[in-house]
Structure 1
């Protein structure tokens, strides 16, 4: 999770090999590089990385444009639970104001030419985020299974 452009730059640096970052180079001669047999391993990794940062706070949204400007950030993943709490609506990611802010954020991310993602706990929210322009949606499978079990008459006794 990042809140500032400085934190985003630190993440970029930690994931890139020199000269673009400070990632340790031991893997370039170890198993990841087939014991040094992959030619130009570090350059290939630097070129093929897709780096997504997660934003989950009002502070992060206040700094979103600066975070999006960080070279090496390919996309932003929005986490709704902590975000809604940070916005003053704890345990209520479905609040209309939270939903408006999520929609606006997805549109800002896409307008910056970056990928926008979202963690959805229900299929309708996943569809809504895709309609707003999200490139990808992670779906909380455990919550979907829980809801499905609750709707199956006679399949459980008591709370699941």
Structure 2
């Protein structure tokens, strides 16, 4: 009976897990997240004025409240990573008042477009002070130094 039939060889079951497919999936997911993460940052397109002032080091332990004013005079409120739709000045004052009631040591920053009316930014800063923000700062971009002219 040896000639026509092959004897079946019994193999011992493998007790190891093949992790190579899991590593492949993990690397693909890593690449996907690395590509999409920069696209997830949302914000308001604001053309910031340029200055030559030194940057201020923000405190790491508290989240900043950023109020943006675009070129059309619309207000946007950003707390941490959370942005908002366009708001009226009264709504901004009310929301900042609630935030400042929770934690008074939060810094409030104003990011105003350089083409917005000066009075709009002043009214915003006044509303922020009425809401309880005692420390209001302005966000600008670093001025580009042009050495071509001499």
TM-score (norm 2): 0.37
The structure, 1 or 2, with the larger RCO (C-alpha pairs under 8 Å, 6+ apart) is: 2
Larger Rg: 2
In the superposition, the TM-score normalised over structure 1's length comes to 0.35
Normalized per residue, which structure has more helix? 1
